[in-house]
């Protein structure tokens, strides 16, 4: 009989004592879920509902509700994500601009919104309007001059410090789990590890509120995740990316590729639905007008040429190298933060990093503004209408062509100075992101890496463009770049660079390309994006196999068995199982014959998560496996509820009570907490197979037998330690069970 039938209470009269024990089947915090058990319980629940649904209309309705409840949850998640995304977008926009000035007519408008109805008409004044005033203008009445500049500088830094201080205090007081990007933790939770409170409402609230503060104090946006069950969480991740970047399909693929451990078709459908609802909600809220769902919309459709693949591949190499550098440096810095005194002062650290960043960022106009705006500007091509310095090309005043077909032009002085500033901004961003990712406030990685890539790409693009203009007669340019034709689009290089850097850091492939072309709307440019993504992944993988999220998982010692690793060593199950030679023998329970007192002593003396149950100590034939937590709860419940159960009572796991003399106290039946189908392998099973079994089934532990006799046990932690050992990493870094 399987344990599921037992739980249904099918049995004889003696089972009247078998009412369900409260809390049995739940998990301790920071322990691993046993997926097989969860799956069988879920199937059980379904079967019970399905059988009951034939009894009455009410039961039928309840079964319908149960079937629909999954979709309803997805709908709610989509609504919530979309709403939160709208709120965050608006609040971030407003607070970022708050650092520089304020709108006098209505304080809740950002710069762009404040000047929406202005009547300024000349090109020079397009960004100014009387309702929006910088702080220096408000306080002293001056707009230009050293005094005003210093005042603006000072206020910018102070606002940034204030925001980050608020963010870190809120996180510290209300929801310490809201720190960081959360993706490593989500990956681990999805693979079956329990972190109680991580997905709580306080964490969500604080993450939302402080994310706005954190973004406006210079850091960057990322996706939101919330959900409870595994499938719900995967779908929520998809919905999050969908609204954060306006990339619904990319969100689903991101969830599939990066976040989820187990992604069957059902989860795919659900995630798709959730992403759809989220995108729809955000669109209907429409915070910005323009129905702007796409973050970095590019409006050009100029073709690219085969010869341009060379610089694209070079950008891919740059992305891979930067990814490696970033991962190594960030992990080293985080490790130092974890182990030394530096980590004792998180608030101070956040304030110091913010202060330094703000101080260094203000002078350079490319770093002063928000990173999303920077990326937007870098992605965009220079039509005749752009006013930024980057588009300060020397125009031919007698030109009569329409706007879209501007031929190659030599760069004006503005472009050269912009190039210098961009190069400085690049170095600044590379260095600063290493220190900011992992700090004790919510922060993310997508936008900073895209910014680094976009800057590098734009620089390369402008270089190629100018080379093409000044050297039309070179062989490479001769075929596709006639004088007077528009050959090179620097904005495209920026896009490719952004994709390369993001791919180098996270090692995403398909989802990256889809997110990029959904972000920009540039369907013509899929091939360059793919080329860059592939190159950067190859280059980065040559130096280290892990992306940033896997590296953080490893740093924190979460028990995450990665599906992407391959195990190719020729060890056997006996080499990994416990107890090893020289260790105390396995702690087992016998089918009958142990007293309650013995069991309690066993629980107190050891800290194993479960105990195998054998027929007897001589024969050692395996009956089943019982979890520690279930034992504790069952015994406690028995002592409270059942009369006659004392310390000398015999504990039995068989169907019928053992024959005992009448003078013995009442025996305790614990068959319902016994798992009668524990997974077993023989001692000569190769570890390759064992690792595969653990991965595919999501096991927590596995028993090792020889000729039916129990030899030992392999837990997930043992498997992870063994893999770490085989890869020459520190096996003691795996901390959790």
Partner 1 sequence: MSRFEFSLHLFSSVCFLLLLSIQTTNAKSSEDIRCKCICPPYKDVLGQIYNQNVSLKDCNCLHVVEPMPVEGKDVEAYCLRCECKYEERSSGTIKVTIIIYLSILGLLLLYMVYLTLLEPVLKRRLFGHSQLIQSDDDVGDQQPFANAHDVLSRSRSRSNMLNKVEHAQQRWKRQVQEQRKSVFDRHVVLS
The interface with partner 1 within residues 21-80 (CB under 8 A) comprises: 28-30, 69, 73, 76-77, 79-80
Residues 195-214 that bind partner 1 (CB under 8 A): 195-197, 201-202, 205-206, 209, 212-213
Residues 598-637 that bind partner 1 (CB under 8 A): none
**Part of the chain binding partner 1 (CB under 8 A), chosen from 240-248, 340-348, 425-433, 671-679:** 340-348
Cβ nearer to partner 1, comparing 347 with 697: 347
* Residues 289-328: x where in contact with partner 1 by CB under 8 A, - otherwise, as a string: xx--------------------------------------
Residue with tokens 């660079």: 497
Residues 96-125 that bind partner 1 (CB under 8 A): 106, 108-109, 113, 116-123
Both tokens assigned to 279: 């995108």
| Residue selected from 281, 506, 595, 715 as contacting partner 1 according to rule CB under 8 A | 281
Rule CB under 8 A: is residue 339 a binding residue for partner 1? yes
Name the phi and psi angles at 682, rounded to 5: -85, 165
Q: How far is the CB of 229 from partner 1 (least distance, A)?
A: 9
Residues 456-515 that bind partner 1 (CB under 8 A): none
Rule CB under 8 A: is residue 185 a binding residue for partner 1? yes
Write the CB contacts of 214 (distance below 8 Å, at least 6 apart in sequence): 163, 164, 167, 441, 442, 443
Cβ nearer to partner 1, comparing 179 with 645: 179
Q: How far is the CB of 473 from partner 1 (least distance, A)?
A: 31
| Residue selected from 262, 288, 480, 543 as contacting partner 1 according to rule CB under 8 A | 288
**Part of the chain binding partner 1 (CB under 8 A), chosen from 89-97, 146-154, 668-676, 678-686:** 89-97
| Residue selected from 62, 172, 369, 472 as contacting partner 1 according to rule CB under 8 A | 172
Per DSSP bridges, beta strands 701-706 and 680-682 are: parallel
Both tokens assigned to 247: 């990339």
C-beta of residue 156 within 8 angstroms of C-beta of residue 368: yes
* DSSP result, 528-567: HHHHHHHHHHHHHHHH-S--HHHHHHHHHT-----TT---
Label residues 460-475 b or e (16+ Cβ within 10 Å = b). Answer: bbbbbbbebbeebeee
Q: How far is the CB of 204 from partner 1 (least distance, A)?
A: 9
Cβ nearer to partner 1, comparing 11 with 287: 287
Cβ nearer to partner 1, comparing 43 with 286: 286
CA torsion, ordered 157, 159, 162, 166, to nearest 10 deg = -130
Q: How many CB atoms lie within 10 A of CB 55?
A: 9
Cβ nearer to partner 1, comparing 28 with 597: 28
Q: How far is the CB of 226 from partner 1 (least distance, A)?
A: 8
Cβ nearer to partner 1, comparing 398 with 659: 398
Write the CB contacts of 525 (distance below 8 Å, at least 6 apart in sequence): 304, 492, 495, 496, 517
Quote the CA–CA distance of 511 and 247 in Å, as a whole number.
10
| Residue selected from 384, 423, 485, 542 as contacting partner 1 according to rule CB under 8 A | 384
Cβ nearer to partner 1, comparing 71 with 420: 71
Rule CB under 8 A: is residue 552 a binding residue for partner 1? yes
Residues 220-239 that bind partner 1 (CB under 8 A): 228
Contacts with partner 1 by CB under 8 A: the residue count is 82
**Part of the chain binding partner 1 (CB under 8 A), chosen from 36-44, 284-292, 569-577, 616-624:** 284-292
| Peptide linkage before 579 cis (omega within 30 of 0) | yes
Cβ nearer to partner 1, comparing 228 with 709: 228
Residue with tokens 């760069």: 411
Quote the CA–CA distance of 591 and 655 in Å, as a whole number.
10
Q: How far is the CB of 415 from partner 1 (least distance, A)?
A: 18
Residue with tokens 């016998």: 590
Cβ nearer to partner 1, comparing 197 with 708: 197
Quote the CA–CA distance of 543 and 30 in Å, as a whole number.
32
Cβ nearer to partner 1, comparing 202 with 420: 202
Cβ nearer to partner 1, comparing 395 with 689: 395
Rule CB under 8 A: is residue 440 a binding residue for partner 1? yes
Quote the CA–CA distance of 71 and 567 in Å, as a whole number.
38
**Part of the chain binding partner 1 (CB under 8 A), chosen from 162-170, 313-321, 425-433, 648-656:** 162-170
Both tokens assigned to 393: 């090309």
| Residue selected from 13, 57, 146, 173 as contacting partner 1 according to rule CB under 8 A | 173
Residue with tokens 């990493």: 729
* Residues 354-383: x where in contact with partner 1 by CB under 8 A, - otherwise, as a string: -----------------------------x
Q: CA angle, corner 585, sides to 582 and 587, nearest 5? A: 150
Quote the CA–CA distance of 722 and 716 in Å, as a whole number.
10
Quote the CA–CA distance of 497 and 521 in Å, as a whole number.
16
**Part of the chain binding partner 1 (CB under 8 A), chosen from 90-98, 130-138, 312-320, 541-549:** 90-98
Instruction: Give the DSSP letter of residue 673.
Output: G
Tell me how far CA of residue 135 lies from CA of 32, 139, 140, 156, 333, in angstroms: 53, 6, 8, 9, 36
Cβ nearer to partner 1, comparing 77 with 315: 77
Cβ nearer to partner 1, comparing 150 with 342: 342
Both tokens assigned to 714: 């392999």
């Amino acid at each position: 009989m399987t344990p599921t039938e037992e739980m249904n209470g099918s049995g004889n009269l003696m089972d009247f004592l078998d009412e369900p024990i409260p809390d049995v089947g739940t998990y301790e915090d920071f322990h691993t879920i046993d997926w097989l058990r969860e799956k069988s319980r879920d199937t059980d629940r379904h079967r019970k509902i399905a059988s009951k649904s034939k009894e009455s209309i009410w039961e039928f309705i309840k079964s319908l509700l149960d079937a629909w409840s999954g979709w309803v949850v997805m709908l709610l998640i989509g609504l919530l994500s979309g709403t939160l995304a709208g709120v965050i977008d608006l609040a971030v926009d407003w607070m970022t601009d708050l650092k520089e000035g304020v709108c006098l007519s209505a304080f809740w408008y950002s710069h762009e919104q404040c000047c929406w109805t202005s009547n300024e008409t000349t090109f020079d004044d397009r960004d100014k309007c009387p309702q929006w005033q910088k702080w220096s203008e408000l306080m002293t009445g001056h707009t230009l001059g050293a005094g005003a500049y210093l005042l603006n500088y000072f206020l910018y830094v102070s606002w940034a410090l204030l925001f980050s201080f608020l963010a870190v205090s809120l996180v510290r007081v209300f929801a310490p789990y809201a720190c960081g990007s959360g993706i490593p933790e989500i990956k681990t939770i999805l693979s079956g590890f329990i972190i109680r409170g991580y997905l709580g409402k306080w964490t969500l609230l604080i993450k939302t509120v402080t994310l706005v503060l954190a973004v406006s104090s210079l850091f960057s946006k990322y996706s939101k995740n919330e959900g409870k069950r595994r499938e719900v969480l995967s779908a929520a991740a998809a919905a999050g990316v969908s609204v954060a970047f306006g990339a619904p399909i990319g969100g689903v693929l991101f969830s599939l590729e990066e976040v989820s451990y187990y992604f069957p078709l059902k989860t795919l459908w659900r995630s798709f639905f959730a992403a759809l609802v989220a995108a729809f909600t955000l669109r209907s809220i429409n915070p910005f007008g323009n129905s702007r769902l796409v973050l970095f919309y590019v409006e050009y459709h100029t073709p690219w040429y085969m010869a341009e693949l060379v610089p694209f591949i070079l950008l891919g190499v740059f992305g891979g190298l930067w990814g490696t550098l970033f991962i190594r440096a960030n992990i080293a810095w985080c490790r130092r933060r974890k182990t030394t005194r530096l980590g004792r002062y998180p608030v101070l650290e956040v304030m110091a990093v913010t202060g330094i960043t703000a101080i260094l960022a203000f002078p350079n106009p490319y770093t002063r503004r928000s990173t999303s705006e920077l990326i937007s500007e870098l992605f965009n091509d220079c039509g005749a209408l752009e006013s930024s310095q980057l588009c300060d090309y020397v125009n031919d005043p007698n030109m009569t062509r329409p706007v879209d077909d501007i031929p190659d032009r030599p760069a004006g002085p503005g472009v050269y100075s912009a190039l210098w500033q961009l190069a400085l901004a690049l170095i600044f961003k590379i260095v600063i992101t290493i220190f900011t990712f992992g700090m004790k406030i919510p922060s993310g990685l997508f936008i900073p890496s895209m910014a680094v890539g976009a800057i590098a790409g734009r620089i390369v693009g402008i270089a190629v463009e100018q080379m093409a203009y000044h050297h039309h007669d070179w062989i490479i340019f001769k075929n596709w770049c006639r004088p007077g034709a528009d050959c090179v689009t620097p904005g495209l290089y920026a896009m490719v660079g952004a994709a390369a850097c993001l791919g180098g850091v996270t090692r995403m492939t398909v989802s990256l390309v889809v997110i990029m072309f959904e972000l920009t709307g540039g369907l013509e440019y899929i091939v360059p994006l793919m080329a860059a993504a592939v190159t950067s992944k190859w280059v980065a993988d040559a130096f280290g196999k892990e992306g940033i999220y896997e590296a953080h998982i490893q740093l924190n010692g979460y028990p995450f068995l990665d599906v992407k690793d391959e195990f190719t060593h020729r060890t056997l199950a006996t080499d990994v199982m416990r107890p090893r030679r020289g260790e105390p023998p396995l702690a087992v329970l016998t089918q009958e014959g142990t007293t309650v007192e013995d069991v309690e002593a066993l629980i107190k003396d050891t800290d194993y998560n479960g105990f195998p149950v054998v027929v007897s100590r001589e024969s050692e034939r395996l009956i089943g496996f019982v979890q520690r937590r279930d034992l504790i709860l069952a015994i406690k419940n028995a002592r409270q509820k059942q009369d006659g159960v004392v310390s000398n009572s015999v504990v039995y796991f068989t169907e019928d009570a053992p024959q005992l003399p009448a003078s013995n106290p009442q025996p305790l039946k614990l068959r319902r907490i016994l798992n009668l189908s524990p997974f077993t392998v023989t001692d000569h099973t190769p570890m390759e197979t064992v690792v595969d079994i653990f991965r595919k089934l999501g096991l927590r532990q596995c028993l090792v037998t020889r000729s039916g006799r129990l030899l030992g046990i392999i837990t997930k932690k043992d498997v992870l330690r063994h893999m770490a050992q085989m890869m020459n990493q520190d096996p003691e870094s795996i901390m959790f069970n």
